[in-house]
A and B are shown apart, each in its own frame.
Chain A
Amino acid sequence: MEYLSRKQKMKKISRGFKMVEIEIDEDACVGCGSCVDDCPNNVYQMNEETWKTTVVNADDCMACLSCHEICPSQAMTHRDIHVAKRLYIDRKVNDVLEKII
């Protein structure tokens, strides 16, 4: 993971947003269509034949990752996106959980 200061981020972003690369694990996708309904930017569409989701508009993906939360089978991967700082993670709790698991 790469950490950038706001100034570095501004420079990087002023060169234009990089198109997000999205990969769907077709074996995992159960064809529920939740991602199609959830995505506000119409990035996904159901393939009428395979009844699996397909990426049809990756250009408009803003990497909000609400589709990750809604997908029951964690079938999608978004590559090279800005990863929000996850300050909510309690590392002490994680350490304990890791020991238990």
Chain B
Amino acid sequence: MDMEMEEIRGTFKPEIIPRETGGKIGDYEAALHVLMKFVGSMSSALEQVSGRGANAIVYQAGKRMGHDAAKMLEKTDDLEKALNEMGEVLGVEFYFEMWKPKGQEGYTIESGDKTEVKLLFMDCVVRQTLRRTGLPQKGPLCYLLYGYMVGAVEEVMSIKGKLDIDHVGPNACLKTLTIKWGGK
């Protein structure tokens, strides 16, 4: 296959933060697709080698990312505020909103020392990666986001959290975030 490549040439001096990224939007698209294929095949290889252990590995990786990302966020014990802040950190690539069925009054459900809230993930780069590589949803890669959310909520609220997948679709996925009050 013929490949058109535009070489970027320039004079380089030692620099701390490069100002220019170089490349066109098509280059970023190509890089994204290579990464998607790479991450997708890594995930299925992990699953092949370590079975359900793959979920735990990816979960831990996500959790670490979540803790790191949320370190700069303001600590709060207000779940809605925490979710809004986390939404900013997760950005438009993991665009989520709180969701409730029409018959339910508020977004949160309290039971004992636990609070539950349903989150609808509308944009998700993990879902796109799975579709790119033909992998089913709810597999190890989904545990990345699971870990990420749990790590971030633990960091911001200093409590224990868990995220369960209720339903997945090609356009949105519904998850339940449960937080347990009373410290780590």
Contact = CB atoms under 8 A, between A and B. Distances in A.
Given A10-B84, A84-B123, 9 more contacts: A5-B92, A10-B87, A64-B169, A66-B167, A66-B168, A66-B170, A87-B125, A87-B132, A88-B36
Contact of B170 (A5, A17, A41, A68): A68
A72 to B, nearest CB: 16
Contact of A6 (B29, B91, B125, B170): B91
* Interface bin, chain A: 20 to 34
14 contacts: A6-B87, A6-B92, A13-B97, A17-B97, A41-B101, A64-B169, A64-B174, A65-B169, A66-B167, A67-B169, A84-B124, A87-B128, A88-B128, A88-B131
A88 B129 contact: yes
Contact of A84 (B36, B101, B122, B129): B122
A63 B172 contact: yes
Contacts of A17: 97, 99
A15 interface: no
A83 interface: yes
B171 A63 contact: yes
A66 B127 CA distance: 13
B32 interface: yes
Interface of A: 5-6, 9-10, 13, 17, 40-41, 59-60, 62-69, 81-88, 90-91
Contacts of B170: 64-66, 68-69, 84
Contacts of B32: 87
A6 B33 contact: no
A6 B174 CA distance: 19
Given A59-B102, A84-B127, A87-B125, A64 B95 contact: no
